[in-house]
Every structure is written in C-alpha cells, then in structure tokens.
Structure 1
Amino acid sequence: MSYVTETPAASAQIAIEHFSRLLSLETDCADVAAALKTGEQDFVLLHVVGTPAAYERRHVPGAIHLPHREISAERMAKWPDDTLFIAYCAGPHCNGADQAALKLARLGRPVKIMIGGITGWADEELPFASGPEAGALKKVA
C-alpha cells in the first residue's frame, strides 16, 4: 500500500461538499481571463497589495487597486451589496488576497480569491495591463 492510498479517499458526497465549498471561495487565473476575454465580467477584480507605482507597472486587466488595508465599509459603499469581489495579490507567497477576502466577508460582501495572483497570471502567460487606470491593456513583461 502506498502513502497515497494508505488513507482512503473520501466518499463522493464528502468530495462534492468539499470541492463545492472550495470553489465557492476561490477562482483561478484562467477563469478570470476567460470572463475578461468574453466580456462576461460579472465581478469586481481587486488588486489588493502593493504601491500605486507597482500597480501602474503591472496589474491584471480591469483590476482596481484597493490595498486590503484600505478596505472599509465606506470604500465599498460605491458598489451594490450583492457585488462579487475577486481579490488577488502577488502570488502564493502573499496572503493579501486572504486578508482582503476576510475584510470583505466581515462587511457582508460576496468574495472569492484568485489563486495564484500575479505569479499565476504570469505563469499562464496572460497579458498584463499597465497605467494608473483599471483596464489599460498592454502586454507587459
């Protein structure tokens, strides 16, 4: 018996519950990119870490720079209460998206994180935007 099978796999029902819960909390770069490409962006994408200069150099197209430390009820009031927010940070070594998601959830806002963040976006070879405005699409290294 290998280490893989030493602990039996969960039942199908437990797996369904687990993965449904997981997918209710996170999305990935490919799914975000597909929504952007097809114009089906039914969420607000938040770049939640870094300085304005770092955001201007490189961010996911359509993302708004709102550092997690600046998330507040007052800042979020510009969006309807049922707006889904997708938070991302630098990548697997960063917990900024988790911090943002926790703040948003505490404010009663629907939220998911984009796993992989900037690092995942780059790994997928997806185009970045640059400039101070969300969505200034331009291929950036």
Structure 2
Amino acid sequence: MTTTQLTTNSVLRVPPASPAAAAAAAAYFAASLAFHADVSDVASALAAGGDPGFVVVDSRSTASWDQGHVPGAIHLPTALIPEQAEQLLDKSVPVVTYCWGPGCNGATRSALALAERGYQVKEMLGGFEYWAREGFAYETWEGEAKREADPLTAPIDAACGC
C-alpha cells in the first residue's frame, strides 16, 4: 500500500496502531471490555438462570420505562441516582446501565454517576433499542412483549459467534 492510499482512504487516514504499540492497543481494548457489555451477553447471562452476578439499571424516565424495559431491571433514572442509589443497589454487586440506544448517552451519564459513588459499573452497548431489535423479551406497563429479531442486528437462527 502506498502513502497516497493511506492519506486518501478515510479508514486508514490515521493508520492503525503499529505492532510496536500492541501493548497499548491491548490495554485500550481490555479497558473497553471492562467498561462495556453488549446486549447479547447481558441477555445470555440473565437467561442462564440463577444469579448473573450483576444488576441491570434502566436510567430512563418513567414514561420510557413503561414503554418497555429489560425484565428484572431496576428503574433508576440518572437524576435520582444521588438520592436513591444506596437504597436500591449494593456496592458489592456490579451494575450494568442502559438507556435508549447508541444515539443516547444517558447510560454513560448514569454509569458515571454510579462510578463516582463507588459502584462497579458497565454500560450496555446498544441500550434498549438493540435489546428489542435483537428479539429479546421485554416488559411494558401492559405486560411482556417481544419483537422478531432484526436480521441487520442479530442472527435469526444462531448465536452471533463473536
């Protein structure tokens, strides 16, 4: 590949980390996994039965919660974390936060508020949007609901394998 290709290709305009920087790259990706969980992994852990070793926190408004939420999640809007987190959450149990979806940083704000208070926390990538789009059951104010999996976000008849 020529230098011209590197500067005109928008993917490689900034080259990937060199092999000499492999340790830094590994640390970056390990840190990302320490701070994030994906919808499929959360769903799988919850579906396995028993105690998954974490609690799920929905950081959205009551109206949003009523539209649909992850079964078993705790409803704790971000603005209420300072006054309610200690009554609802145990600091020895990791927390997985979520909000609407990738276009919303509410789960990030919630995770920050919890981390500042000493909780172990991960953010669920994709949020409620991808929970529903991947075909996982959810609860609404009317009861349980489920959508067909969107083939653009999840395999229809198999595990994703990643």
Q: Which amino acid aligns with 1:75?
A: Q
| Larger displacement relative to structure 2 (25-34 or 14-23) | 14-23
Structure 1, 100-109 or 11-20: larger mean CA deviation: 11-20
Structure whose CA Rg is larger: 2
Give the one of 42, 61, 86 matched to 1:77: 86
Counterpart of 2:111 in structure 1 is: 101
TM-score by length of 1: 0.84
Where 1:77 maps in the other structure, the secondary structure is helix
| TM-score, normalising length: structure 2 | 0.74
CA distance change for structure 1 residues 53 and 140 in 2, over 3 Å: closer, same or farther? farther
Q: Which one has more relative contact order, counting CA pairs under 8 Å at least 6 apart?
A: 1
Offset, 1:44: 1.1
Partner SS for 2:129: helix
Gaps of 5+ in 1: none
Q: Is there any run of 5+ residues in structure 2 with no aligned partner, and where?
A: 148-162
Kept in 1: contact 2:98–2:106 (CA 8 A): yes
Distance 1:94 1:8, change over 3 A: closer
Identical columns (%): 37
Counterpart of 2:17? 9
Query: Counterpart of 1:61?
Result: 71
C-alpha offsets along residues 47-66 of structure 1, whole Å, 9 cap, x if unaligned?
1012x233123111111111
Query: Cα distance, 1:5 vs. partner?
Result: 4.8
Task: Give per-residue Cα distances to partners, 1:15-65, cap 9 Å, x unaligned.
Answer: 221111001101000000001110242111011012x23312311111111
